[in-house]
Structures are given as structure tokens and as C-alpha cells.
């Protein structure tokens, strides 16, 4: 059985004070969470607060991105080594907002994925189609391309044994429109089958999260689907009570 992972993607939100409050709020409620693994991804400058506040708890944390380079003259970038230094477990890679606003290509994302794994962190690889692509019937083609960026690495399917995938339909992110459980399940099953063609064992163990307007009100139904193993939560991760309610929903589906 795959352990559900509920990861909060805080994006570019908050302040020092708000981060402390949110971290403490989640920490205070974590005792009620059973089997779900819980993680938060604050903005880079606040990772030190996650390290301070969450150490000794079961709550893991990570970053929202990572440089594809080891170190050196790369102004504004943050390396995997630095993330390790702050105790990160996860790094979100290839989020659609980075594909869109930072022109990240599949090749760049694959390189970041390798870098994260090489430094002992677990990448959360985001894949997902835009509304236009869905309407043109291209959903599978697009998510396959996003997934293949990693599957086609020299290390092959073994690379996916070291990561987590998040299916995030772009049209559902921050819009309040969620994929129906059936729509999401269809894509999750497609992704798992694609991995299974290379390794049934790795596919069976791979956690595939759903992201895109997941909220306390729809989390249970979504995670009840056979191939949905948790959530990558944006907006609803900014309120401790909502985030914890989603973590609870993850527990209910084991
Ligand atoms: P949302 O964001 O939950 O606000 O839709 C999810 C994400 O972008 O990871």
C-alpha cells in the first residue's frame, strides 16, 4: 500500500510572522494525523523557520524549486546542497507556474530532477495539461511528454523510484475548478501504466499526487480513487485547519 503524501505548496505567500503562525498551527494539529505523510514547501527564505519549528516532528518540508547547477555564478538560484543544508526532504520540480513564468523546459526540469536526487532529496515532479490542450484531446500526450522527460533519462525508470509525481491540470490550479475524481483518476492511471511498461514494481510503489484546487470538501473523494496517493495543495495549504483536514482525508483512504 502506498502511504499518502499531502504536501503544501505555499508559493510566494506569507511573511516571517505568517510563516511562524502557519508552521505552528500545523505542528499543533499533527498529532491527530495518522498514516498520511505531511510536508510543507514554504518560500526559500523561510526554510530556516521550517527547520527550527518542525525539527523533532513528523512533518517534512521542502522547496518549491531547485537549481539545475551544483554551485557557482548563477545569480538568484538556490542549490540542492543548500536545500539539504536546511534539512529539506522534498523539492517541487517543474511546477506549471515555473514552466509558464520561468520558461522551464522538460530538459531543464529533467536536469533539476537529477540534481535533486543526486543530493538525496526527493523530487515532486509536476505534470499537467492546460485547458486548451485538454479541449484539443491532448491531455495524455502532454502528461506523457512531461513524464518522459524523467523516464528517458539515462538512469531510466529507476529515476522514478526516487521521486513522487504530481498530476496538476493547469486549468484546475488556483481556479476553484477541480478535476472530477474520475477525470483525475483517468490521468493517474495513464501515468502509472506508462511507468509500468518499464517496471511494474516501480509503478506499483510510485506515489502520484493530485493537485489543483484540492480542498477539505473534495479531498476525500479524490483520494478515494485507486491511483491518487495524496495531494499537492496550494491555496488550501495556507490555512492550518484546511490543510490538516486534507491530511485527515488522506488518512481515511489508506
Ligand atoms: P491550488 O494549487 O491548490 O491553489 O490549486 C495547487 C498547486 O499549484 O500546486
Q: What is the pLDDT of residues 164-173, one digit of tens each?
A: 999 999 999 9
Cell of 223: 483520494
Residue in 154, 108, 113, 121 with CA at minimum distance from that of residue 41: 121
| 212 CA closest ligand 1 atom index | 5
> What's the pLDDT at 43?
98
For residue 158, CA distances in Å to 114, 149, 206 come to 11, 13, 11
pLDDT reading at 64 higher than 70: yes
Q: Label residue 27 exposed, middle or buried (CB < 10 Å: 0-12, 13-18, 19+).
A: middle
Q: DSSP secondary structure string, 146-192?
A: HHHHHHTSTTGGGGGGG-EEEE--GGGTTTSPPPPHHHHHHHHHHHH
Confirm if 125 and 157 have CB atoms less than 8 A apart. no
Distance 6 CA to ligand 1 centre (A): 12
Q: Which sequence positions are flagged as catalytic? A: 95, 168
Per-residue pLDDT at 14? 97
Closest CA to 13 of 230, 233, 247, 245: 233
Distance CA(122)–CA(166), nearest Å, equals 13
Q: Where are the domains of the chain?
A: 5-252
Q: Which atom of ligand 1 is nearest to the CA of 237?
A: 3
- How many angstroms does the Cα of residue 55 sit away from the middle of ligand 1? 26
Nearest-atom number in ligand 1 for the CA of 232 is: 9
* 208 within 8 A of 128, measured Cβ to Cβ: no
Residue 232 Cα to ligand 1 midpoint, Å, equals 7
The C-alpha cell at 55 is: 525539527
Q: Given the CA of residue 211, which atom of ligand 1 is nearest to it?
A: 6
Separation of CA 72 and ligand 1 centre (Å): 32
Residue 254 has a pLDDT of 63
Residue with CA closest to ligand 1 atom 3: 234
pTM (2 d.p.):
0.97
Residue ranges lining ligand 1, Cβ < 6 Å: 9, 168, 173-174, 211-214, 232-236
Decide which of 2.60.40.10, 3.20.20.70, 1.20.5.510, 3.20.20.60 is the CATH code for 5-252: 3.20.20.70
- Locate 68 and state its grid cell: 539545475
235-241: long-range contacts (C-beta < 8 A, 24 or more apart)?
235/174, 237/8, 237/9, 237/10, 237/40, 238/8, 238/10, 238/13, 238/14, 238/22, 240/22, 240/25, 240/26, 240/28, 240/29, 241/25, 241/29
Three-state secondary-structure class, residue 94: coil
Cβ-based neighbour number of residue 195 at 10 Å: 23
> Could you tell me how many residues make up the chain?
254
Nearest CA to ligand 1 atom 2: 234
> 126 in helix, strand or coil?
strand
Which amino acid residue places its CA nearest to atom 6 of ligand 1? 234
* Per-residue pLDDT reduced to its tens digit, 180-239: 999 999 999 999 999 999 999 999 999 999 999 999 999 999 999 999 999 999 999 999
CA of 170 to the centre of ligand 1 (A): 9
Instruction: State yes or no: pLDDT of 253 exceeds 80.
Output: no
Question: Given a cut of 80, is residue 67 above it in pLDDT?
Answer: yes
Helix pair angle (106-118, 139-151), 10° resolution = 40
Please give the average per-residue pLDDT across 47-60, as a whole number: 97
Amino acid at each position: 500500500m502506498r502511504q499518502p503524501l499531502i504536501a503544501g505548496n505555499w508559493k510566494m505567500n506569507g511573511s516571517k510572522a505568517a510563516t511562524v503562525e502557519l508552521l505552528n498551527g500545523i505542528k499543533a494539529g499533527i498529532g491527530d494525523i495518522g498514516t498520511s505523510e505531511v510536508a510543507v514547501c514554504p518560500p526559500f527564505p523561510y526554510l530556516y523557520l521550517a527547520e527550527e519549528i518542525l525539527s523533532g516532528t513528523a512533518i517534512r518540508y521542502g522547496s518549491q524549486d531547485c537549481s539545475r547547477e551544483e554551485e557557482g555564478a548563477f545569480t538568484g538560484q538556490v542549490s540542492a546542497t543548500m536545500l539539504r543544508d536546511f534539512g529539506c526532504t522534498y523539492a517541487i520540480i517543474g511546477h506549471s507556474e515555473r514552466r509558464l513564468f520561468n520558461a522551464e523546459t522538460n530538459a531543464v526540469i529533467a536536469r533539476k530532477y537529477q540534481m535533486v536526487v543526486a543530493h538525496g532529496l526527493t523530487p515532486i515532479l509536476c505534470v499537467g495539461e492546460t485547458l486548451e490542450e485538454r479541449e484539443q484531446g491532448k491531455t495524455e500526450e502532454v502528461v506523457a511528454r512531461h513524464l518522459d522527460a524523467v523516464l528517458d533519462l539515462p538512469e531510466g525508470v529507476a529515476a522514478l523510484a526516487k521521486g513522487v509525481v504530481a498530476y496538476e491540470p493547469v486549468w484546475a490550479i488556483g481556479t476553484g475548478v477541480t478535476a472530477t475524481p474520475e477525470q483525475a483518476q483517468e490521468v493517474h492511471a495513464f501515468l502509472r501504466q506508462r511507468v509500468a511498461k518499464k517496471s511494474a514494481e516501480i509503478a506499483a510503489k510510485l506515489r502520484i499526487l493530485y493537485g489543483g484546487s484540492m480542498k477539505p470538501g473534495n479531498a476525500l473523494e479524490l483520494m478515494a480513487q485507486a491511483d491518487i496517493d495524496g495531494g499537492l495543495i496550494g491555496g488550501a495549504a495556507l490555512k492550518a485547519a484546511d490543510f490538516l483536514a486534507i491530511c485527515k482525508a488522506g488518512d481515511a483512504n489508506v
